[in-house]
């Protein structure tokens, strides 16, 4: 028998890095007993210090959190290098180790042996293959993804990702647990590459990269327009530099092209990313990415640089990707837009944007964007999906 939300009292977290300790801190603050496990004793000591620091900040800045609350929460957390001990009585286990498929598969194989039979096992991953993680266990129907956003104490969103093995009830329990943490869960009903939010982020960055690669627009023009006209926290190039997106996309390209999950990517990344990568321009931490940071911490993006830029050139492919997820029953309209707003801090969701400007307008812009691609696969990827075409023809909206 699989645990229900009413049965969950103890939570275990495997990995005490930035994500793992943050997840553990959130769970303990919500009233759960928490065991945080790591093979590195020094990492566990750092986790203790960081959790105490984050609790102090929460008591200072959140009127709903008192010092007594955080002290009680910290007392509910145990730290151990013994994985079997950490999960011995856990009802819900979250693996938050390094983002490598093989490492996570090894951990799940062990967890399946030592965790209680009824416990749900989850993985905090931003896009790795959860189905394969489920398949290394004897309980694939009790494995889900829980993609937290960084930092867990501050970010409100958590994606709950299902596989073909897990019944709806297991996803419901995971969502109820996330909700009890005071976070907002959204459901990705299918294990697809990148899930919901990061799947929207891909055309945000890649579509802009192709425009610059073809010499149609400048980086500052695009970044300025999306940041100052549209209200995004960062333009696509500034964001890629901040997150190390160039390195992530190039080094993960082979994995994406070999992915056998539904809606797998079948096109290569824009050549400009390879050009930057080969020069060691990985982003801000490397001193240069799309922008040069040798003498600045932030890129110089003039407010008026993007006044003449048509932001629908960026929005339209994102709307198309969102519509594909609805068409394939990956996620609901509401969850997709909630993910964009809470996970990406976007001014609105892509399907809200589509309704605002009109689906016929979006279709026209998508056709324009697609016509600029000579590569057959990339052309097909950017063409409007059937659902978008049907809704536009019928004069319908997403809401």
Catalytic residues: 126, 147, 159, 198
Q: Which one-letter DSSP state was computed for residue 302? A: -
* φ and ψ at residue 158, rounded to 5 degrees: -140, 125
CA 115 to chain centre: 27
Whether the Cβ atoms of residue 231 and residue 195 lie closer than 8 Å to each other: no
The pair of three-digit structure tokens given for residue 102, joined into one six-digit string: 């093989």
Cβ partners under 8 Å of residue 84, min gap 6:
114
Whole-number Å distance between alpha carbons of 171 and 134? 14
CB 120, CB 3: distance < 8 Å? yes
Distance set, CA 210 to CA 176, 207, 252, 272 (Å): 41, 5, 18, 8
- 128: alpha, beta or left, given left = phi > 0 and alpha = psi -120 to 50? beta
Distance, in Å, from the CA atom of 174 to the CA atom of 245, rounded to the nearest integer, reads 29
**Dihedral of CA 332/336/337/343: which sign?**
positive
DSSP-derived 3-state class of residue 184 = strand
Selection from 316, 339, 322 nearest residue 230 by Cα: 316
Which residues are paired to 35 by β-bridges? 12, 78
**What spatial distance separates the first Cα and last Cα of the chain, rounded to whole Å?**
39
């Amino acid at each position: 028998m699989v645990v229900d939300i009413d049965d969950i009292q103890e939570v275990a977290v495997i990995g005490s890095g930035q994500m793992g300790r943050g997840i553990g801190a959130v769970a303990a603050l919500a009233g759960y007993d928490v065991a945080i496990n790591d093979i590195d004793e020094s990492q566990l000591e750092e986790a203790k210090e960081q959790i105490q620091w984050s609790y102090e900040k929460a008591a200072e800045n959140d009127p709903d959190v008192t010092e007594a609350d955080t002290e009680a929460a910290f007392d509910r957390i145990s730290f151990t290098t013994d994985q079997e001990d950490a999960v011995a009585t856990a009802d819900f286990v979250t693996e938050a180790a390094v983002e490598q498929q093989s490492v996570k598969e090894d951990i799940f194989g062990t967890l399946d042996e030592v965790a209680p039979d009824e416990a749900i096992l989850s993985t905090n991953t931003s896009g790795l293959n959860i189905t394969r993680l489920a398949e290394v266990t004897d309980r694939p129907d009790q494995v889900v993804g829980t993609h937290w956003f960084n930092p867990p104490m501050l970010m409100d969103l958590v994606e709950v990702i299902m596989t073909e093995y897990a019944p709806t009830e297991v996803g419901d329990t995971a969502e109820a647990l996330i909700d009890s943490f005071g976070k907002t869960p959204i459901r990705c009903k299918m294990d697809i590459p990148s899930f919901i939010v990061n799947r929207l982020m891909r055309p945000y960055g890649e579509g802009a990269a192709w425009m610059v690669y073809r010499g149609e627009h400048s980086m500052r023009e695009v970044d300025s327009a999306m940041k100052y006209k549209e209200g995004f926290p960062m333009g696509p190039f500034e964001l890629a530099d901040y997150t190390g997106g160039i390195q992530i996309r190039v080094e993960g390209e082979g994995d994406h092209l070999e992915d056998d999950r539904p809606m797998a990517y079948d096109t290569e990344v824009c050549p400009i990313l390879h050009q930057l990568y080969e020069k060691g321009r990985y982003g801000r931490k490397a001193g240069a990415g799309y922008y040069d940071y040798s003498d600045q911490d932030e890129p110089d993006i003039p407010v008026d640089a993007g006044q003449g830029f048509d932001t629908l050139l960026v929005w339209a492919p994102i709307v198309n990707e969102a519509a594909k997820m609805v068409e394939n029953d990956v996620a609901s309209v509401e969850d997709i837009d909630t993910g964009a707003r809470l996970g990406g801090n976007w001014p609105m969701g892509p399907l809200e944007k589509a309704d605002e400007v009109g689906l016929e307008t979006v279709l026209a812009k998508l056709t324009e964007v697609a016509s600029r691609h000579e590569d057959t696969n990339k052309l097909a990827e950017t063409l409007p999906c059937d659902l978008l075409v049907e809704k536009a023809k019928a004069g319908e909206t997403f809401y």
